[in-house]
Structure 1
Amino acid sequence: MQAPHRCLLLLLQLLLLSGTWADMEGSFTIRLLQTSTFQNTSFVDTEGLGLLEDIELGSLDKHTWNIHFHQPWVRPALPRSDWDTIENMIKIYLQKFNHLINEGAMQKDVPYPFVAQCVAGCEIYANRTSRAFAYVGYNGQDFLSFNIYNATWLLSQDTNLSRYVQAVLQNYTAFSELVDVLFNDTCIDDMEMLLHYGKAALERQELPMATVFARTPSPEQLLLVCRVTGFYPRPISVAWLRDGQEVPPGPALNTSAVLPNADLTYQLRSILAVAPRDGHSYACRVQHRSLGTRSLLIPWGNSEVVLIAGLGAGLLAAVAVAAITALWVWRRRKHQQMDESESRNSILSKGA
């Protein structure tokens, strides 16, 4: 139970920060990612990562299970005593988790090595409601999920192993209570503080950069490619317009998933298959939070248009060169005529 002064301090902080939360739109999620590789009954290699949206808050030292902070504002967001409590709860959780998984593996003769993964955390919404969640995976497959509301474990796959682990966890009430406190109480209670200290990082915006080019896999097909990169945050809308109308989803339209860049921005590609010289005009439209109410529109000109534009520019250049040359020849001839006239006048004056 929290000390009275700690509860009062938390209440005052939440009241002071309520304006910060009101100023921020949408929902926010904290996720703790755990990957435990069970090499044998005595050695487990565990990695952990904490995320606020897509911002890395910190990670676990795989040898000591201590927290390493990845952002300068994360540690000051909570008192040192709170971080010590969270760190101790995580260590107790991992010890119990490893023991239960190893016990189940030995009971069911599960071959080593194998991998257990967990995703857990909490989400808080704009109306200040919240939810917590916890999922367990086995060798890359969904295995179990934890119902926070009634503290029960649900099967994600129905196998002898999953039913056995479910029964063990359900009977081990102390472990379920630890998961409930860690993700349903601690996570949500500390969310406001993290949102306040991480406000600048969460509201960061980077403008998208977009280019349109074409590929020709066959004479009968033209692939228009719209590459959008360098944007943040992640949500974005990319669409193709044909003669000003949005192209609906279909087999001719293929848009990739949003992928991360090395500089903590994102990228994607949208490809539209069209028939060469089909007579339509195409443009790629990009909508993103950093653009506000505006849209980025990148038109595609077919090869004939580009070719005509190129010939026009070349013709203008040729005309300009011809005009300059003609002017130079005219001036040179005029000067020659003037020189010849002056020479004749000089000869006539001498003869006189």
Structure 2
Amino acid sequence: MVREHISSIQPGLANGGIHPIDGTIVFPVVDPVRVLQPHRDALILALGVGDFDVKRILVDPGSSADLLQVAVIQQMGFIPSSLENPGRILSGFNGSSTTSLRDITLPVQAGPVILNVLFSVVKDLSPFNVILGRTWLHGMKVIPSTYHQMVNFITQDEQIDLYGSQLTARQCYQIAREHPANKDPLAADPLEVVQISEGGECFTYVSTLLPPAERFELQKVLQQNRDIFAWAHSDMPGILPSVASHRLNVLATSKPVRQKIRRFHPDRQKVIQEEMEKLLKTGFIRKVEYPEWLANVVVVPKKGGKWRVCVDYTNLNDACLKDSFPLPRID
């Protein structure tokens, strides 16, 4: 019965009802009695969803999906396992993701307009019951304003103004602060080394949880196709200068600087020599006679006890236009 009822509702405006139309929307002057200023409150509405009056509905233009708390579905009498479609992955702005349980289409009434909305049912929306995103906003031709604490749309007869609740918005904010959503860290499988070449110079890591047969097949495929992987920097020739190149924006009025040669301890000289040979071999650098600009290399210690070879770009930085990407600074 539940499945038949859900399947009979299709997303979109309800037939025969009042429809929103395109037109000019004018926001009224902020009522100081209705809206406390200044504020930075979210826009929280109370609307009719299905046959129920639902509070704590967040209007979020940054969300492409319309979301519904599974607890709300259960209170409405629906069984989550009987809903439409399997779960799908929903991604947040910071790269975090969650998987919806199912989908359900329910009518949402805003003023005189009823819009059938396809919701993704999720387990935890705390502290919100519903999040209405761009799908609902565009379907309703609604213009939201958190500053005015209202949403506006127009019909053939009038402009409809729906006000949010600052008190509810602040209660939701407090709940979110006191009870942040628990995010379990992504589980990482323990890894083991798998040799790709006989000499041992080509290897990778695979999960130790793989069944032996699957691990063997994976290793076999990697060995058969090892030539398509880049095992050294020399295997990655880079981008042709005709496609993309970089140059330094040196001020035309700057005078070239030749730093005096620095003397290094023999141990550091060995480190520098090894680094130069490695960079020459991979093609990262080439031998060039600089008639104008000359800068010394600098050897700095790394946390692991090894050494990092850098170039002292102090003078070159001073001669370049200032932007957000300065050359490395050596102190």
Structure index of larger Rg: 1
Q: TM over 0.5: same fold? A: no
Give the TM-score normalised by the residue count of structure 1.
Answer: 0.23
RCO greater where, 1 or 2, for CA within 8 Å and sep 6 or more? 2
